[in-house]
Structure 1
Amino acid sequence: MTKIKICGLSRLEDIDAVNEAMPDYIGFVFAKSRRQVDGEKAKVLKAALDPTIKAVGVFVNQSIKEIIELSNAGVIDVIQLHGDEDDETIITLKQAVSLPIIKAMRIADRMDIKETSGDFRLFDTYDANQYGGSGECFNWGLIADIKEDFFLAGGLNIDNVKEAINQVNPYGVDISSGVETDGKKDRDKIIKIIEIIRRMNQ
């Protein structure tokens, strides 16, 4: 059964939408982004989130101290490292907290697919100007032979998510701009894409 992550939540109405649609994961982006939230805002949003939905904290080259503080405060349930963090950083975090760690990798060619000490890899589209959130797909054929569990991100939406799942069989899909309208999360798109994926899992 493909897991579903809706990333980049920043408003209470976003939380209302996911509480209705019930994905497996949601994402709070703590890195600089138009979807960025700070710890206080994330705490308010997490308090309103259905407790069965896991909150993922998305970080880009941020301090280990900040990540540990948010983890220990119960604001996040999973850590996603979406920058240039190395295995040493991941090992340090694993020694400090017990949360699962997702390491994102931006894929332009096969050379970008690397091993990690994290619990999952997340494959996203390479964009020279940003670490994620480009809304563009990459060549899924580059990861088609990967057997272990991973998350697929990068330009997934209502029109292509079925094809993506059928082609690479990811453990989970990570969707952000694909469920937005005018840069804001769209309740109807969130509900529809989750219905599409859940029907595939039946």
Structure 2
Amino acid sequence: MRVKICGLTRKNDVEAALRAGADAIGFILAQSPRKVDLDTAKKLACCIPPFVSVVAVVKNPTIEFLNEVIKSKIFDMVQFHGQEDPDLIYDCPLKTIKAIPVKDERDLQAISRYAHVANFFLFDTKAGSLSGGTGKTFDWRVIKGLDPGKPFILAGGIGPENIEEAIEFVNPHAIDVNSAVESSPGIKDEKKIYELMEKLKNWKYKF
């Protein structure tokens, strides 16, 4: 089970996520309380060792901005959180994650639009105009047993208190955590990060 710690804004938090054993680090470049600019992301990424993926989180980026992200050479993947044209994702030379905000089964219709262009799917909580960063889970029964044709990531309110339940119920290929390991938006809680990773380690020992 792979884990991405997302919404990082401080060097101390990046270092804590790495020490705890995160497989990927996410920087939000879209409008968010956790937004960082490319210069900040570059500074924060300088301490990330080889074989840990660095993910750019964007929402409806312009072609010009997406090109800046790619040319920065900071990132291994781009995570798209908007209503992007599939051709924009298809043309991206980095690996791509398409986030699908979920409230009910009707939201899964978006899978077919991006199935031929994205490398991975991410299912997150849909709440009003928000398509992520809500700190809330969605009804996991909507995606239980789902095979979207690509490896998928589960997001939305996942933290130390429910990570084992999430994995056992949904059986995703990876987990994305953000607000559930924070003390405030953009400020990670090192104890919560370690607690989450320790629970994941204990879960692995069960099998």
TM-score (norm 2): 0.91
- In the TM superposition, residue 50 of structure 1 has moved relative to its aligned partner by 2.4
Who is 2:164 aligned against? 162
Sequence identity, in percent?
37
Match of 2:155 among 153, 156, 162: 153
Kept in 2: contact 1:153–1:175 (CA 8 A): yes
Task: Answer whether contact 1:11 1:45 (CA < 8 A) is retained.
Answer: yes
CA contact (8 A) 1:79 1:102 kept: yes
**Aligned twin of 2:100:** 105
Q: Which amino acid aligns with 2:60?
A: N
Which deviations, in whole Å up to 9, do the C-alpha atoms of 1:83-127 show, x marking residues without a partner?
A: 11131221222xxx1x21000000111121123220111000111
CA distance in 2, matches of 1:108, 1:119: 23
| Alignment pair present for 1:27 and 2:8 | no
Alpha-carbon offset, residue 198 of structure 1: 2.2
After superposing on structure 2, the runs of 4+ consecutive aligned residues of structure 1 that deviate more than 6 Å are: none
One of 187, 190, 194 as aligned partner of 1:187: 190
2-side partners of 1:188 and 1:50: how far apart? Answer: 22
- C-alpha distance in structure 1 between counterparts of 2:18 and 2:177, whole Å: 16
- 1:56: Cα distance to partner? 0.5
* Per-residue CA distance 1:57-94 (angstroms, 9 max, x = gap): 0001111222232223221111100111131221222x
Aligned residues: 197
**Gap runs ≥5 in structure 1:** none
Instruction: Name structure 2 gaps, 5 residues minimum.
Output: none
Q: How does 1:1-202 map to 2 (within 5 A)?
A: 2-93=1-92, 97=93, 99-113=94-108, 114-115=111-112, 116=114, 117-147=117-147, 148-183=150-185, 184-202=187-205
Letter in 1 for 2:162: N
Query: What amino acid does structure 2 have at the position aligned with 1:135?
Result: G
User: Which TM-score applies when normalising by structure 1?
Assistant: 0.93
